[in-house]
Amino acid sequence: MSKKGVFCLVCAIVLRVTALAVPLDTVAIDQLAKLQQEEKRPVLVIIGTEWCKYCSAMEASLKKKELTKILHDQYYFVKIDGEERKALKFNDRMFYYRPTGASTGVHDLAAYFATDEKGSLSFPTVCILNGKNEIVFRYNGFLKRGELYKLLINFLPPK
């Protein structure tokens, strides 16, 4: 194959991969109150960590076209790092990082969203908030792309 042919093949592959990886618009948690005043929307909150492979896989699922379109058009999307070290404000309340060991810890906001009824904290956790930023759904664990799609559709407000 000629150099020109190889170049064209590489370009085609790069363009195809780029088209599949749709960027996700995320919202800072401290901006939700202002955004909800402008336009009420449900909020998808994903709580995870950088080391969590299931968190990364679920985030990759969200970048698929059908999910990205719903998130962009009808939701606010917030990602929270369970080990974030800076203070965060949500619903007029400050949340802080709490060390749990020599170089480990958890953010209070991650614990607020991701702690289940039994008191267990796990990643990833998916929460849906209503237009008043109240938790209306929480799921601790990995959700497949089809499950995420159904979840997002089910929590859309009626038209």
At 67-104, the pLDDT tens digits run 999 999 999 999 999 999 999 999 999 999 999 888 88
Distance between CA atoms of residues 99 and 151, nearest Å: 33
pLDDT digits (tens, 9 = 90+) for 24-58: 789 999 999 999 999 999 999 999 999 999 999 99
pLDDT digits (tens, 9 = 90+) for 104-154: 899 999 999 999 889 999 999 999 999 999 999 999 999 999 999 999 999
Report whether pLDDT(11) > 60: no
Sorting pLDDT into bands at 50, 70 and 90, what band is 3?
low
Report whether pLDDT(6) > 50: no
The pLDDT value recorded for residue 24 is: 76
Sorting pLDDT into bands at 50, 70 and 90, what band is 158?
confident
Give the helix, strand, coil percentages of the chain, each rounded to 5. 40, 25, 35
Distances (CA, A) of 92 to 13, 30, 34: 47, 9, 12
Spatial CA neighbour of 121 closest among 136, 139, 140: 140
Show the domains of the chain with their CATH numbers.
Answer: 22-154 (3.40.30.10)
The pLDDT value recorded for residue 58 is: 94
Q: Are strands 125-129 and 135-140 parallel, antiparallel or unpaired?
A: antiparallel
Task: Pick the more confident residue, 10 or 97.
Answer: 97
Spatial CA neighbour of 152 closest among 141, 123, 139, 18: 139
- For the ranges 6-15, 20-29, 146-155, the one whose mean pLDDT is highest: 146-155
